[in-house]
């Protein structure tokens, strides 16, 4: 069996260089590869093009790489939780490509499925469609979108085995499965690493064929972007 386990995040990101394109799984702060992000920051890899649903928050997630100016371009769907992202975008320091969330997901999925491009009605008539080919299907205009080309995909799973098979937990099963299929090199960090054959095949979300490297990450805190609670005296 091919050896896919690596000792730590620093070994897992080996080969990532300045100027490369990388995908980062997760939604908000749920299911993000925080150990890989920390290793990238520590090594000072810069001028990255990052594909992620969002850009983390100030001081965590991809927000850490924004703080150190290691990201040249963000391709994202939602960016409303990060003040530093907003500052860099408005000042022109950061190149930003905003993509409708469904289109972002499909560009990931298409890359994993070997589909080079597809047509979608999402974004027609907006800035998203500028410069893109338009065709009409069923009387409705659609714009041409291309599959992503990523050098690396960094994902996080709840549990994985030494063969790279992955299981995601709850809403961490968001962009991770699609991005795991789409990277030329897919790196998975897991909260629990078990021997090959220990996982129930019926429960596996990402088959190991898509994963090149896997490591056991240190996960100490389940962060959320905004904690909202109601008063005990609230009346309904």
Contact between 25 and 168 under an 8 Å Cβ cutoff? The reply is no
- Lowest-pLDDT range of 115-119, 145-149, 226-230: 226-230
| Rounded average pLDDT over 38-64 | 94
| Rounded average pLDDT over 69-74 | 97
Q: Does 229 fall in a domain?
A: no
For residue 232, the model assigns a pLDDT of 65
Q: Does 78 fall in a domain?
A: yes
Q: Does 231 fall in a domain?
A: no
Q: Does 128 fall in a domain?
A: no
Q: Does 135 fall in a domain?
A: no
Buried/exposed 6-21: b ≥16 CB within 10 Å, e otherwise: beebbebbeebeeebb
Q: Does 125 fall in a domain?
A: no
For residue 123, the model assigns a pLDDT of 95
CATH at residue 170: 3.40.1080.10
For residue 104, the model assigns a pLDDT of 97
Asked if pLDDT for residue 1 goes beyond 60, the answer is yes
Asked if pLDDT for residue 236 goes beyond 60, the answer is no
Residue 119: beta bridge partners? 144
Q: Which helix (H) or strand (E) holds 61?
A: none
129-150 pLDDT tens trace: 999 999 999 999 999 999 999 9
Average pLDDT, the chain: 93
Q: Does 84 fall in a domain?
A: yes
Side-chain-side CA neighbours of residue 10 (13 Å): 3
Contact between 47 and 21 under an 8 Å Cβ cutoff? The reply is no
Q: Does 223 fall in a domain?
A: no
Side-chain-side CA neighbours of residue 118 (13 Å): 18
Give dist(CA 92, CA 208) in Å, integer: 40
Instruction: Give the total number of structural domains in the chain.
Output: 1
164-194 pLDDT tens trace: 999 999 988 999 999 999 999 999 999 999 9
Asked if pLDDT for residue 48 goes beyond 70, the answer is yes
Report pTM.
Answer: 0.91
* Residues spanned by the domain of 108: 9-114+148-216
| Rounded average pLDDT over 150-170 | 97
């Amino acid at each position: 069996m091919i050896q896919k386990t690596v000792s730590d995040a620093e070994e897992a990101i080996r080969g990532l260089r300045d100027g490369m394109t990388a995908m980062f799984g997760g939604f908000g702060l749920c299911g993000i590869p925080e150990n890989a992000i920390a290793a990238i920051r520590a090594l000072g890899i810069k001028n990255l093009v990052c594909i992620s649903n969002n850009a983390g928050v100030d001081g965590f997630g991809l927000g850490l790489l924004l703080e150190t100016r290691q990201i040249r371009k963000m391709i994202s769907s939602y960016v409303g939780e990060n003040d530093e992202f907003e500052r860099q975008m408005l000042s022109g320091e950061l190149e930003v490509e905003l993509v409708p969330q469904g289109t972002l997901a499909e560009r990931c999925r298409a890359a994993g499925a070997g589909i080079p491009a597809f047509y979608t009605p999402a974004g027609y008539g907006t800035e998203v469609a500028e410069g893109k080919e338009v065709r009409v299907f069923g009387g409705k205009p659609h714009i041409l979108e291309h599959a992503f080309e990523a050098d690396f995909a960094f994902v996080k799973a709840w549990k994985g085995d030494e063969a790279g098979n992955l299981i995601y937990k709850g809403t961490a099963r968001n962009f991770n499965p699609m991005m795991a299929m789409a990277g030329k090199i897919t790196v998975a960090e897991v909260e629990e690493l078990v021997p090959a054959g220990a996982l129930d095949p019926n429960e596996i979300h990402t088959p190991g064929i898509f994963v090149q490297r896997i490591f056991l990450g240190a996960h100490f805190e389940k962060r959320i972007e905004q904690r909202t609670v109601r008063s005990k005296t609230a009346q309904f």
